[in-house]
Structure formats: structure tokens, C-alpha cells
């Protein structure tokens, strides 16, 4: 009887399959591994999913990891501007309702205490907070530079903090200057801005301190519409350009010997969800593109980069954790929560 | 009852399998110097993804795995040749189709006068509308004349008086960037005998449905029979009010044009 009912069920199941010829005929798909060379990953799109009713997101702008291993996400949803996960994607806590233009998120270890720097596009301010959201300092628009007449002209997108506490702010949606302050928030100098020379910037969307060469730390600034990163000395003298043709790179994220960056979109398919992730080695040569083409250098010149697999829409930032996992936050991508990518060894 | 239960069990299993495993390929990159050409031109397709190939057609049909596999640049010599290309691979959902239409030079033009464009999009000099350069869907490309005024007039003189039948205009359609096709285009021909312009053809264009991305769209205005003339005048009505489905609704739209041909 048991056996007979089993056969009967199989027969019905077979009929069920036959009803869906398109599914049946699809060959078993192989798992897709993203990236190239020694930087290849498996993708988990479910990692950061939360109950949207309770913990909504708008744009997922940036992510950092703190020393406890927690993954901190910044969104411009004022119900919970900051969402804190563990590495498995479990929600730990949320805070923040006063950052309608929350965009840039940087973590800094200040004499043993970790602090956050939030760039708010709408408030035209940079806000320094504790890890649980207590405000420590607010930087208003940089009148001292003589470049700005009102707050609205200043739309900061990113900060980077030097080991001595100096604060570098990129005005990526404003006038594309980089402002340097000391740890107290006192103006030191500024550079960049728009113009025709190579030292100028066009959409200075990100900034970071590159201390991979310990004796010679430099500042890397994004010039997104030029599809490039630009390197400057710590006091703002232009060094050179890292050309990334075709790639609308967001902020550079240094982890170990590598530079990681979300690419908002491909120049070849603008505003068509054509983003990917790029990874550069210590010589600032692209070694891997996740959901993008394999990097190819011809006579030292990088060939155009572009999306090849529509796994992501508009990547906006990446975070690499202490176990080399990569997290991806996306802008304007249908309220999607962050993805996690684990290295394939 | 058992049948019913079973189908409930099977369905979610199948759906979840296919949803997890299927990524769509991105569309291939079509590279060309211009969509306008005099004798012949060529198209290069860029797209490298292990496990995928690019298939293309030249006959306006949708590419399939039975179409040509792209291996080397494609030569184009026929007017209005449309190349459609698509990336297909076993492990992926096929890409969307990329398409480009190539336009051959028409009758030789002596000069073109046109309404002054917006300062931001001035094109590239007085012959910008007949220099065989253009068709790049990036609005900041210097082949485009960009307008946000109400009417644009283009007056052109042919090198010689000829029998003509059609006028072609190439526009940019980039609705997310507020660049719409015009509301109306009218072409007139100069009648020497009456010393006046007469209607060649007119077309109204509606923008009721949204189009994604940025692409080149040409419009061909044709008269019923051939006409002998050496002067053409074109009136373009720019869309004055962006439709209600668009975030910029009610605002004045932009109109971008990069080339005019006479056949």
C-alpha cells in the first residue's frame, strides 16, 4: 500500500512538472561565482533582509564594521538611520531619526573609543557621534574656505579621518572641494574643486586615507564622473590619477593590501542599474570585478570596465569585515537590504 | 484532494530553485564612431563574460541562439541597417537587446541655419547638423544641439536643386534626463515659382508611455511624391509640458537633435 501510494504520487508530481515546461527544460544552473583572480565570491542576497514594516530602508548608503565585529549600515530612512547587524545578518539594534540626508559613514578609533562621522546631504553638515548615536560634534558649511556663501552650496558626501585625528570632508554633491580640519573641527585647508586641470574633481563622492605604504600615507579622492580616483598628499598636493574607464566608482575602501569600491553604474549603460564592484591591488591595478568584466590592461592602460551580470543595481558602498567577507549597500535599488559576499578560497 | 495538496507542495520548491539560480546577463556594449556614414562604417561589440556569447542580427529581428555569433566587427553599408545584439549563456537569463540603426548620408547640403541652442549644449559648429557625427546617446556629447525653448527652426540649403522626397531628423530620447521627442515636426519645401514655402510633411509625436534609458530615435518625414527644390525649412515644437507620469511633470522638456538628412 505504501509503495502503491508512492507511485501514484510520483505520477501526479510528474504531471505537475509537465505543466511547467519552461521550468522543466531549464538545465540545472551552475552556481555563479563573482569576480576574478584571487578575489572571487559567492553572493548571498538574503543576508541583510529585515521586516520592512518595522525596519525600513530607503537608500542603503554606506557600511562600516566596528571592533566588536558588528556591521553598521547608514540609510536616509529617518525611522532608523543606523541599522546594526551581526556578521550573520541578525539585527542587533537601530538608532537615528534626524539624518534625512544620511549619506557618508566613517568609523574612527579615537584613543580606544570608536566614533562615527555622518555626512548629511540635506542638513549640509557633518556630524560626529558615538557608536550609539550621541552627537559629539557638528561641522557646518565651510565658510572659512571663502568658497561658499550659504549652506545649500555644501553637500558633503564622505569623510576620512587621519591617524592624528584630522578630518577630511569631500563635498561630492556640492562644489567638489576636499576640506581638511584638525580633530577639533578647526579648518586647516581645502583643495580640489571643479576645473579643467588634473588636480580638479568632478563629483568628489568619496575620500579615504591610504596607508598601505606605511611610510607614505596618501589621500585618495573619488572623481566619479571622470571614472577615476585621484591621489593627493596628506596636505592636498595632487599626485596622480587612477583611471577606471567606464566605472562610476564610489568611495575607495582600503582593507589589507587591497582597495575595494562599489561602482554605481557603467558609463556604457547610464541610469540602467548597471553597477558592479571593483577591486584593486596594492599597485592600484584592477584585479577583479564582481558582476563586471575581467580587467584587461593593454600597454599598461586599462580597457573599459562594464557590468556583465545584472546581480546588482546601483552599488553605493562596500564594507570588508575581519574575515574578508564583503558587504554591499545599494542606492535607489528598490529598498533592497545589504548583500553579503563570501570569498571563494 | 491529494492532487491539490501535492501541487501546493511542488510549486514553492520549483519557484525558489529558479529564483535563486537565475541572474540576467547585462546587455553587450555596441561601439561605433557615429551612426551616420557616407559609404560604409563598422560596429564593434564588447562583452566578455565566461559562459556567454553575443548573438546579433542585421535584419531587425530579435537575436536568438540561431543568429550570428559575434566574433569580429560588423561592416555596414546599407541605409537604415539596424543591428540588434543580445548576450546569451546557459547559466543565465538572456540580456535585454541592444540596438542601433545606422543612417547613410543623403543629398549634399550646402549649409544649415538653426535656432540658437541652449548655451550648455551648443553642438560643434555651424555644420553640426550635417557633419555625419552623432548618434551617441550620452547627452553631454558635443554632437547634440540642446533646446529648452518652445520652437526650433532649421533652414537648410542643398548644394544643388534636386528631386527630393524625405527629410530625416535624429533626436535623443532620454526621458529620465528630461529629454523628450518633440511634440510636432513639420518640414516645408521652397517653391521657386511662388517664392514661398509649402508643406512637405508633418508629424505629431505623443509621449504617453514612458521609455527607459537613453537612445537615438530618427524620424522620417516623407511627401507623397518627389519635389524639386534646393531649400527645406523644418519647424520643431519642443514639448512644453512634461507628461504627468514623469517626476518632472508640468516642466518644460528638453529637445536634442544632432543630424538632418535629405533624401
- Which residue from B minimizes the CA distance to A296? B48
Which residue in the set A26, A271, A294 is minimally distant from B213, CB to CB?
A271
At residue A7, the pLDDT reads: 39
Residues of B in contact with A304 (CB under 8 A): 29, 46
A51 touches chain B (CB under 8 A): no
User: HSE (CB half, 13 Å, CA atoms) of B119?
Assistant: 0
A32 touches chain B (CB under 8 A): yes
Residues of B in contact with A23 (CB under 8 A): 14, 18
- Note whether A13 contacts B6, CB cutoff 8 Å: yes
Which residue in the set B3, B23, B177 is minimally distant from A32, CB to CB?
B23
Chain A nearest-CA distance from B135, in A, is 14
Residues of B in contact with A13 (CB under 8 A): 6, 10
B10 touches chain A (CB under 8 A): yes
Check whether A19 has a pLDDT greater than 90: no
A23 touches chain B (CB under 8 A): yes
State the architecture of A29-343 in CATH terms.
6 Propeller (2.120)
B52 touches chain A (CB under 8 A): yes
Instruction: Give the pTM.
Output: 0.86
User: Over the stretch B150-171, which tens digit does the pLDDT of each residue have?
Assistant: 999 999 999 999 999 999 999 9
Mean pLDDT of A216-240: 98
How many interchain CB pairs under 8 A, A with B?
A: 75
- Note whether B25 contacts A308, CB cutoff 8 Å: yes
Which positions of chain B have pLDDT values less than 50? Answer: 1-20
- Note whether B23 contacts A293, CB cutoff 8 Å: no
Chain A nearest-CA distance from B172, in A, is 14
Residues of A in contact with B95 (CB under 8 A): 310
- Note whether B29 contacts A306, CB cutoff 8 Å: yes
- Note whether B29 contacts A311, CB cutoff 8 Å: no
Residues of B in contact with A16 (CB under 8 A): 6-7, 10-11
- For A220, the grid coordinates are 585618495
Q: Which domains does chain B have, with CATH numbers?
A: 21-103 (2.60.40), 106-262 (2.60.120.260)
How many CB atoms lie under 10 A from the CB of residue B14?
15
What are the distances in angstroms from CA A5 to CA A9, A12, A304, B231?
A: 6, 11, 60, 85
- C-alpha to C-alpha distance for A182 and A305, rounded to whole angstroms: 37
A203 touches chain B (CB under 8 A): no
- At A18, is the pLDDT very low, low, confident or very high (cuts 50, 70, 90)? very low
- Which residue from B minimizes the CA distance to A273? B26
- Note whether A293 contacts B18, CB cutoff 8 Å: no
Mean pLDDT of A74-86: 98
- At A22, is the pLDDT very low, low, confident or very high (cuts 50, 70, 90)? very low
User: Over the stretch A257-311, which tens digit does the pLDDT of each residue have?
Assistant: 999 999 999 999 988 999 999 999 999 999 999 999 999 999 999 999 999 999 9
DSSP-assigned beta bridge partners for residue B127: none
- C-alpha to C-alpha distance for A110 and A133, rounded to whole angstroms: 16
Check whether A26 has a pLDDT greater than 70: no
Mean pLDDT of A234-262: 98
Check whether A2 has a pLDDT greater than 60: no
Q: What is the per-residue DSSP string for A106-150? A: EEEEETTEEEEEEEETTTTEEEEEETT--EEEEE---GGGSS-SS
Virtual torsion, Cα B143, B146, B150, B151, nearest 10 deg: -10
CB A39 within 8 A of CB A337: no
At residue B214, the pLDDT reads: 83
Q: What is the per-residue DSSP string for chain B? A: -HHHHHHHHHHHHHHHHHHHH-EEBPPPEEE-S-SEESS-EEEEEE---TT-EEEEESBSPPP-TTSEEP-SPEEE-STTEEEEEEEE-TTEEPPPPEEEEEEE--S-EEEEEEPPPPTT-B-SSTTTTSSS------TTSTT-EEE-SSEEEEEEEEEEEEEEEEEEEEEEEBGGGTB---SEEEEEEEETTTTEEEEEEEEE----S---S-EEEEEEEEEEEEEEEEEEEEEEE--SS--TTSTTTTSPPBEEEEEEEE-
- C-alpha to C-alpha distance for B209 and A305, rounded to whole angstroms: 32
At residue B21, the pLDDT reads: 55
At residue B136, the pLDDT reads: 85
At residue A345, the pLDDT reads: 82
CB A290 within 8 A of CB A35: yes
At residue B36, the pLDDT reads: 96
Chain B nearest-CA distance from A16, in A, is 7
At residue A28, the pLDDT reads: 60
- Note whether A26 contacts B18, CB cutoff 8 Å: yes
B177 touches chain A (CB under 8 A): yes
> Torsion-angle region of residue A122: left (phi > 0), alpha (psi -120 to 50) or beta?
alpha
Q: Is residue A105 within a helix (H) or strand (E), and if so which, with residue range?
A: strand A102-110
Three-state DSSP at A204 gives: coil
Residues 6+ apart with CB under 8 A from B77: B39, B40, B41
At residue A70, the pLDDT reads: 98
- Note whether B22 contacts A29, CB cutoff 8 Å: yes
Q: What is the per-residue DSSP string for A320-344? A: E-TTS-EEEEESSSSSPPPEEEEE-
- Note whether A9 contacts B90, CB cutoff 8 Å: no
B5 touches chain A (CB under 8 A): no
Three-state DSSP at A25 gives: helix
- Note whether B213 contacts A272, CB cutoff 8 Å: yes
Backbone angles phi, psi at B200, to 5 degrees: -95, -55
Q: Please name which of A231, A238, A235, A173 lies closest in space to residue A207, comparing C-alpha atoms.
A: A231
Check whether A3 has a pLDDT greater than 90: no
Interface of A with B in 241-270 (CB under 8 A): 266, 268-270
How many CB atoms lie under 10 A from the CB of residue A182?
13
b (16+ CB within 10 A) / e for B196-224: ebeebbeeebebeeeeebbbbeebebebe
User: Over the stretch A102-137, which tens digit does the pLDDT of each residue have?
Assistant: 999 999 999 999 999 999 999 999 999 999 999 999
Chain B nearest-CA distance from A177, in A, is 23
Q: Is residue A97 within a helix (H) or strand (E), and if so which, with residue range?
A: none
At residue B22, the pLDDT reads: 84
- Note whether B10 contacts A17, CB cutoff 8 Å: yes
The rounded Cα A108 to chain-centroid distance in angstroms is 17
Amino acid at each position: 500500500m505504501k509503495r502503491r501510494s508512492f507511485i501514484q504520487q510520483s505520477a501526479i508530481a510528474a504531471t505537475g512538472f509537465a505543466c511547467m515546461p519552461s521550468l522543466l527544460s531549464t538545465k540545472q544552473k551552475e552556481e555563479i561565482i563573482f569576480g576574478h583572480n584571487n578575489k572571487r565570491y559567492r553572493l548571498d542576497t538574503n543576508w541583510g533582509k529585515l521586516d520592512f514594516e518595522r525596519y525600513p530602508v530607503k537608500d542603503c548608503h554606506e557600511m562600516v564594521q566596528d571592533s566588536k565585529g558588528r556591521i553598521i549600515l547608514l540609510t536616509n530612512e529617518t525611522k532608523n538611520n543606523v541599522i546594526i547587524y551581526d556578521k550573520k545578518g541578525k539585527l542587533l539594534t537601530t538608532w537615528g531619526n534626524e539624518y534625512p540626508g544620511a549619506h557618508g559613514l566613517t568609523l574612527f578609533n579615537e584613543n580606544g573609543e570608536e566614533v562615527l562621522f555622518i555626512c548629511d546631504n540635506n542638513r549640509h553638515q557633518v556630524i560626529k557621534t558615538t557608536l550609539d548615536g550621541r552627537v559629539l560634534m557638528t561641522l557646518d558649511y565651510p565658510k572659512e574656505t571663502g568658497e561658499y556663501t550659504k549652506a545649500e552650496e555644501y553637500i558633503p558626501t564622505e569623510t576620512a579621518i587621519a591617524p592624528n585625528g584630522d578630518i577630511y570632508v569631500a563635498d561630492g554633491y556640492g562644489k567638489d572641494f576636499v576640506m581638511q580640519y584638525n580633530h577639533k573641527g578647526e579648518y586647516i585647508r581645502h583643495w580640489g574643486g571643479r576645473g579643467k586641470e588634473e588636480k580638479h574633481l568632478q563629483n568628489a563622492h568619496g575620500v579615504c586615507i591610504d596607508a598601505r605604504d606605511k611610510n607614505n600615507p596618501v589621500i585618495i579622492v573619488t572623481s566619479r564622473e571622470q571614472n577615476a580616483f585621484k591621489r593627493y598628499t596628506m596636505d592636498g598636493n595632487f599626485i596622480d590619477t587612477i583611471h577606471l574607464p567606464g566605472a562610476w566608482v564610489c568611495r575607495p575602501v582600503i582593507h589589507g593590501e587591497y582597495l575595494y569600491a562599489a561602482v554605481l553604474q557603467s558609463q556604457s549603460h547610464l541610469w540602467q542599474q548597471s553597477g558592479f564592484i571593483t577591486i584593486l591591488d596594492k599597485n592600484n591595478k584592477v584585479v577583479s570585478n564582481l558582476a563586471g568584466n575581467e580587467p584587461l590592461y593593454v600597454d599598461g592602460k586599462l580597457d573599459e570596465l562594464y557590468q556583465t551580470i545584472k546581480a546588482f543595481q546601483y552599488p553605493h558602498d562596500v564594507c570588508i569585515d575581519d574575515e574578508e567577507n564583503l558587504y554591499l549597500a545599494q542606492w535607489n535599488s528598490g529598498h533592497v537590504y545589504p548583500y553579503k559576499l563570501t570569498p571563494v578560497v | 484532494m491529494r492532487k491539490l495538496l501535492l501541487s501546493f507542495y511542488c510549486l514553492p520548491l520549483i519557484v525558489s530553485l529558479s529564483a535563486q539560480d537565475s541572474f540576467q546577463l547585462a546587455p553587450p556594449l555596441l561601439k561605433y564612431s557615429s551612426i551616420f556614414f557616407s559609404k560604409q562604417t563598422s560596429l564593434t561589440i564588447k562583452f566578455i563574460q565566461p559562459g556567454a556569447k553575443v548573438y546579433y542580427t542585421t535584419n531587425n529581428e530579435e537575436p536568438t541562439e540561431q543568429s550570428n555569433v559575434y566574433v569580429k566587427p560588423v561592416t555596414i553599408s546599407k541605409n537604415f541597417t539596424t543591428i540588434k545584439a543580445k548576450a546569451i549563456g546557459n547559466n543565465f537569463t538572456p540580456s535585454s537587446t541592444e540596438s542601433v540603426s545606422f543612417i547613410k548620408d543623403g543629398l549634399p547640403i550646402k549649409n544649415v541655419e538653426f535656432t540658437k541652442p541652449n548655451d550648455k549644449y551648443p553642438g560643434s559648429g555651424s555644420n553640426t547638423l550635417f557633419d555625419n557625427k552623432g548618434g551617441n546617446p550620452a547627452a553631454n556629447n558635443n554632437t547634440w544641439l540642446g533646446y529648452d525653448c518652445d520652437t526650433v527652426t532649421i533652414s537648410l540649403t542643398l548644394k544643388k536643386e534636386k528631386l527630393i522626397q524625405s527629410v530625416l531628423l535624429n533626436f535623443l530620447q532620454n526621458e529620465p534626463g528630461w529629454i523628450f521627442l518633440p511634440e510636432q515636426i513639420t518640414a516645408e519645401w521652397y517653391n521657386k515659382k511662388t517664392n514661398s514655402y509649402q508643406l512637405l510633411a508633418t508629424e505629431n509625436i505623443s509621449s504617453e508611455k514612458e521609455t527607459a534609458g537613453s537612445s537615438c530615435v530618427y524620424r522620417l518625414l516623407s511627401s507623397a511624391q518627389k519635389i524639386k527644390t534646393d531649400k527645406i525649412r523644418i519647424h520643431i515644437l519642443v514639448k512644453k509640458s512634461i507628461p504627468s507620469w514623469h517626476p518632472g511633470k508640468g516642466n518644460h522638456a528638453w529637445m536634442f537633435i544632432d543630424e538632418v538628412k535629405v533624401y
